[in-house]
Amino acid sequence: MTLNPNTGAIILAFFEWKDEYNLGISLMDRQHREIVGIIDELYEAMKNGQGEAVLGGLLARMTTYSLQHFTLEEQMMSKYRYPDQAQHELEHQAYRSKTAELMAKHEKSTLALSVATAQYLKTWWVNHIQTTDRKYVPYMS
Ligand SMILES: [Fe+2]
Ligand SMILES: [Fe+2]
């Protein structure tokens, strides 16, 4: 929760971490929380009309961090012999493709980062954490 320094009013984050997103695996929870924070920063920067350099930097940070997270998660699934790993990786792959497309468009300056894009990222992560990631929890505890 953030307070407006001028008015003291509560500023609601676009993508605020909720306790219900926790899986109870601290490393995963820390990384998910970091990703949620970067997407929230990206939205704030867009809303405040920040320049393309700032947006591009945040987009790159979000992508790099997400891909590192997927790699680690996939290594953990292998280590614990999670039976639905292949299905899980398909979702990661779809996100890898989507973010590669966003980065490519941004580099060619043909991407206007929109609220719809930010909303897509938010929805993807909430669904993925709450349904797909949550399924591996019993195998890793
Ligand atoms: Fe995942
Ligand atoms: Fe995850």
Å from CA of 41 to ligand 2 middle:
19
Contact 73, 57 (CB under 8 A): no
Å from CA of 57 to ligand 1 middle:
23
Å from CA of 112 to ligand 2 middle:
27
- Ligand closest to CA 31: 2
Contact 32, 19 (CB under 8 A): no
Å from CA of 119 to ligand 1 middle:
18
How do the pLDDT tens digits run along the chain, 141 residues long? 667 778 877 777 899 999 999 999 999 999 999 999 999 999 999 888 888 888 889 999 999 999 999 999 999 999 999 999 999 999 999 999 999 999 888 888 776 778 888 999 999 999 999 999 999 999 997
Any idea which residue has 């676009």 for tokens? 14
Å from CA of 133 to ligand 1 middle:
5
> Which option is the CATH number for 39-140: 1.20.120.50, 3.30.70.20, 3.40.190.10, 3.30.360.10?
1.20.120.50
Contact 132, 88 (CB under 8 A): yes
The C-alpha atoms of residue 60 and residue 111 are separated, in whole angstroms, by: 14
Helix, coil or strand: residue 25: coil
Helix, coil or strand: residue 59: helix
Phi first, then psi: give them for residue 49, nearest 5 degrees.
65, 30
- Ligand closest to CA 88: 1
Assessment of whether the complete model's pTM goes beyond 0.85? yes
**pLDDT at 1 (0 to 100):** 62
**pLDDT at 36 (0 to 100):** 97
pLDDT in tens, 69-93: 999 999 999 999 999 999 999 999 9
**pLDDT at 140 (0 to 100):** 92
Å from CA of 35 to ligand 2 middle:
10
